[in-house]
Amino acid sequence: MDICNDCPGYCCYKKNGAYLLITSLDINRLARFFGINDGDVRRKYMANRHSLKVRKDGACIFFAPGGTIKRCIVYDARPDQCRSFPHGEPCPYLQD
């Protein structure tokens, strides 16, 4: 979406009560991206069984703030939930 180029990456920050659902397929895709095994992805990047770690400010561990492009450092291997966002709806972060 072109409109994403003007967004600071709101959808890559964890909101209270929300989480990014990571599936075993997502984990395997990330493992192949990094050239490591699925267990290593779980140990290094997962906060719990179904969610990625976030930084102190709530940003996804794979989010590189500051730039306007290539902010997801695993873009080609990003999880399905990231790929489908905003799920055919207008972006909820950019309303008003």
Q: Which of 31, 82, 92, 95 binds ligand SF4 (CB under 6 A)?
A: 82
The residues near 73 (Cβ < 8 Å, ≥ 6 apart) are 62, 63, 64
Q: Does 78 bind ligand SF4 (CB under 6 A)?
A: yes
By the rule CB under 6 A, 54 interacts with ligand SF4: no
Q: Least separation, in Å, of the C-beta of 55 and ligand SF4?
A: 11
Long-range contacts of 68-73 (CB under 8 A, 24+ apart): 68/5, 69/5, 71/9, 71/12, 72/12
Interacting residues with ligand SF4 (CB under 6 A): 12, 20, 60, 62-63, 72, 74, 78-79, 82
